[in-house]
A = this chain, B = another copy of it.
Amino acid sequence: MAEPTTIEQVTKQVEEVILGEDGKPLSKNALKKLQKEKEKEALKQKRAQEAAERAAKQAAESVDYAKEFYGKKPMNQSQERSGTKRERLTDINASRAGEKVWIRARVQTSRPTGNKMCFFQFRQHSSTIQGLVVMNDNSISKQMVKFAQGIPSESIVLVEGTIAVPSEPIRSCTVQDVELSITQLWVLSESQGRLPFNIEDASRPETEFEREDAQFSKVSLHTRLENRVFDLRTITNQAIFRVQAGVCKLFRDFLTSKGFLEIHSPKIIGAASEGGANVFKVKYFETDAFLAQSPQFYKQMVVCGDFERVFEIGSVFRAENSFTHRHMTEFIGLDMEMAIEEHYHEILDVFDELFVYIFKGLETEYAHELAIVHRQYPFEKFQYLPKTLRLEYKDAVALLRANGVEMGDYDDLSTEIERKLGQLVKEKYNTDFFMLDKFPLEVRPFYTMPDPANPKYSNSYDFFIRGEEVLSGAQRIHDPDYLIERAKAHGVDPESIKSYIDAFRMGAPPHGGGGIGMERVIMLYLNLGNIRRVSMFPRDPKRLEP
């Protein structure tokens, strides 16, 4: 090796001989110590590097690669319209497996599985489908799964998913052959606070609550009505109100096909009709008015106005301070009135065909809804005859007496006796529906036409479903002088109903009709036990809200 020639070379040589702080070369011991310190430093650096690497790795993980695919949407103010199709659950099935679809639905339940998965039951009306979010490494992030797991029940979500066929049918949902493998999940409207009750409990069959091991609580009718908007979401209520619309539709379609015209009569009236009891008073500018207890007078007047055959579906109001299972202060009347040619049994013939048409229509067009209601509120199959039984009042009295009921020939029927009669008729004729004709005149309104053969009876009738009255009707008096006579006999001042009586002065056809309590028909047909279950927002003396 050549001698160092430059100053740098000399310096390097010097440095290789490790010098101490005093400038002299270190001792062996000092060298050893130094070596240890060096090693320590290296270790420290290595650890720092590892920590940095770990931090970098964590940072990489926290990048949410799914953030375009989930979240809360801002309040919809119609910001845009993409026209993307959104499916109804009822249109989704295995034949469409593999297809990617959008749905708007409610979260009925969600079930987190670890931190990588979440199962959902989504609901639309009375349909439910299973959806699942499963974490993966490119489109479903851990953050997205966490978000999914946090969505409160009953929130409304917008979901994109692929229709997938599960290995086993999903028994807990109505859509059983497929589920949705979720690819996007957006909350449109989040449910706030605690739900008033569990919506699944509220849809449970009555019988389940009787099981000894029942782990859930029954939702009282009161709680339901206090939270009616929420309660309406149960599959049973979804079905009940479809049946309700169905009954109205069948009533209307049948009568329209028979030449009846739909009318609308006033609900605010100048004088309390039918004697003035149980009528709500309205402050009407400088005077008082009343709420119509039925369209009775007006539908008759319209018949006198030559419309011949009319019907109305409308609100009627009764200020009855009662809290029974079958009374409300406001309900829907299905009313009809018609001119007759010869005999009021022409009216019974129309009603007979009408009810059979409604019963048949329910069985065929609403079988799905009936099955859903039946699941929660079991009922005996509804029996009716192709031609409805018409029983005369006197024969009903005889039947009751033969079975131990004590009553006079012309006594009215109590609720209890009506029930008894319903049972006896069911046993004898195997029908849940019948007509009771020729009521005692005494127990009917003043405008009822007396029976020509026996003036103690009248040309009037009630119809019964499962032993409870659902319709009341009669041939009406169309002669104005006789009407005045009968009004007076009932203590009704003819002056107070002048415009009604005057309607008969310029020629009035013989006529009659009847009024059906819409909610009662459905309550009894479905065996729901309380009329409030058939009214979206029932009214009784204590309930004005919601």
Contacts and interface: CB of A to CB of B under 8 A. Distances in A.
Interface of A: 75-84, 86, 104, 106, 123-125, 154-156, 188-193, 195, 228-233, 237-238, 241-242, 244-245, 248-249, 256, 261-271, 280-285, 287, 289, 291, 298, 301-302, 304-308, 313-315, 317, 319, 321, 329-330, 332, 339-345, 449-452, 459, 475, 478-480, 482, 499-500, 502-510, 535-537, 539, 541, 544-546
A343 B503 CA distance: 52
A136 to B, nearest CB: 28
25 contacts: A75-B478, A77-B450, A77-B475, A78-B340, A79-B452, A82-B342, A189-B507, A193-B505, A193-B506, A229-B305, A231-B305, A249-B262, A263-B536, A266-B330, A268-B329, A268-B330, A268-B539, A270-B544, A281-B283, A283-B283, A285-B541, A301-B546, A313-B313, A500-B546, A503-B546
Nearest to A285: B541
Nearest to A480: B192
B451 A77 contact: yes
B452 A77 contact: yes
B342 A81 contact: yes
Contacts of A504: 189
A232 B307 contact: yes
Nearest to A102: B341
A505 B229 CA distance: 10
Contacts of A305: 228-233, 237, 536
Contacts of A451: 77
B241 A155 contact: no
A191 B508 CA distance: 8
A262 B285 CA distance: 33
Given A282-B291, A285-B319, 14 more contacts: A76-B478, A81-B342, A124-B306, A155-B507, A189-B510, A192-B505, A192-B506, A193-B505, A193-B506, A232-B305, A237-B305, A265-B536, A269-B544, A314-B314
A376 B270 CA distance: 31
A504 B289 CA distance: 36
A63 to B, nearest CB: 30
Number of copies: 2
Contacts of A84: 341-342
Given A280-B284, A343-B80, A229 B507 contact: no
A330 B267 contact: yes
Nearest to A341: B86
Contact of A268 (B154, B263, B544): B544
Given A480-B192, A546-B503, A317 B75 contact: no
A298 B537 contact: yes
Nearest to A193: B505
A285 B104 CA distance: 44
A537 B242 contact: no
B459 A78 contact: yes
- Max chain B C-beta neighbours (<10 A), residue from A261, A267, A284, A507: A507
A163 to B, nearest CB: 19
B343 A537 contact: no
Given A228-B305, A262-B249, A509-B104, A317 B233 contact: no
A343 B78 contact: yes
Given A75-B482, A506-B191, A544-B289, A268 B81 contact: no
Kindly list the 3 A-B residue pairs having the minimum CB-CB distance in the complex, ordered from nearest: A232-B305, A270-B544, A499-B546
Contacts of A285: 319, 321, 541
Given A193-B505, A305-B230, A507-B190, A449 B77 contact: yes
A478 B77 CA distance: 10
Contacts of A267: 267, 315, 317, 330
